[in-house]
Amino acid sequence: MAQQLKVGIPKENKPMEGRIALVPHAVNELVQQGVPVVVESGAGKKSGFSDYEYKQAGAVIADSAQQLYAAVDLIVKVKEPIAQDLALLESRHLLFCYLHLAPNPDLAAALCDIGLTAVAFETVRENGGLPLLAPMSEIAGRVAVQAGAHLLHSSMGGRGVLLGGVTGTAAGRVVIIGAGVAGQNAAAVAAASGAQVIAFDRSAEALKSIERLAPNITGLYAYAGAIEQALQTADLLVGAVLIPGQKAPHIVTREMVRKMPRGSVIVDISVDQGGCIETIRPTDYRDPVYVDEGVLHMGVTNLPGAVPKTASEALSGALLPFVGRLAMEGVMAFPALSDGINVSGGKIVLPALLE
């Protein structure tokens, strides 16, 4: 039987990131199972959870990140480690978080240099799905449309379109690339606003599923010519392409973006995997939007970070059973976890990074 690991939950250091991997109720369940948990002081503050609540749940509160990393074996966090996190990681640590290594070879190299083992939430598979990515994909899809609708306001530099329209006016037009979990949630919110929605995908089943959501959603096969034609009248484009563990392909070219209406908006959810739109680049919530080819682009790599309380609650519920087994039985406890390994003992094992 694997040696039981002590779980550490650090404060997130990515700019404008307030999520926490496990909420107090989840921590209490781990403690009740006999798993020791250490939480960095203030880690839950932006999600609405106090140190007192974590103490009441049975966690030990670490005064600093240094104290936490020194005391634990299993680091469970939300976003990929940045420089100040990497400085505290050691080869003995097991890292469990969103990593998105395919478009970030520097991070992959840094983790290898440390010599640790890292399991990525987004590549954990179970029953044909991605259980740890799905909750954030749901939120990202919804936030993408909410943010896009706001950016269409003329005060934000947009073309002054109300997505749902009103009596006597045409509804706004939303194009979604990818009809998976994120795309379906984006389509549901856009359709509920009254917009006319076109969703593109290569899967007939995905197109059937997305069309069932509302009568004002049309699913089309993702032919380049069809996408280009739809974008010429689009008010909002949402990129939602996902190839698990791999860099997102550029489905929308710069030339396609150039033909979009001036003041239209792009929100690319897949930007943390490199983005499916040629003109997208990563941004954060401090300066989320830029203009390229006359179109507003939002490339925030942690869209769900805008709603940290909701996102933390959703992620925590999905994470809890995985963290429990990981802490008590080890990374090879069951296939879903072992399949999620991206770096093992300082060596890359994610197929997309070995090609």
Instruction: Yes or no: say if 20 and 309 are a contact pair by the CB < 8 Å rule.
Output: no
Cβ atoms < 10 Å from Cβ of 47:
20
Told to judge if 272 belongs to the known catalytic residues of this protein, a careful annotator would answer yes
Taking the CB of residue 91, how many other CB atoms lie within 10 A of it? 11
Structure tokens at 209: 């599923």
Rounded CA-CA distance 148/347 in Å is 40
Beta-bridge mates of residue 237: 175, 266
- For tokens 């781990």, what's the residue? 30
CB atoms within 10 A of CB 145: 26
Q: Please tell me which residue in 85, 235, 268, 272 is annotated as part of the active site.
A: 272
Catalytic residue among 85, 93, 100, 297: 100
Q: Containing H/E element for 228?
A: helix 224-231
Q: Catalytic: 100? A: yes
Inter-residue contact 227 to 266 (CB < 8 Å): no
Count of C-beta atoms within a 10 Å radius of residue 312: 26
By the 10 Å C-beta count (0-12 exposed, 13-18 middle, 19+ buried), 177 is classed as: buried
Calculate the CA dihedral of residues 331, 35, 5, 37 and round it to 10 degrees: 110
The residues with which 336 forms a beta bridge, in sequence order, are none
Distance between CA atoms of residues 264 and 292, nearest Å: 11
> Per 3-state DSSP, what percentage of the chain is helix, strand, and coil (rounded to 5)?
40, 20, 45
Task: Answer for the pair 38, 72: CB distance below 8 angstroms, yes or no.
Answer: yes
Is residue 233 within 8 Å of 171, Cβ to Cβ? no
- Residues marked active site are found at 100, 272
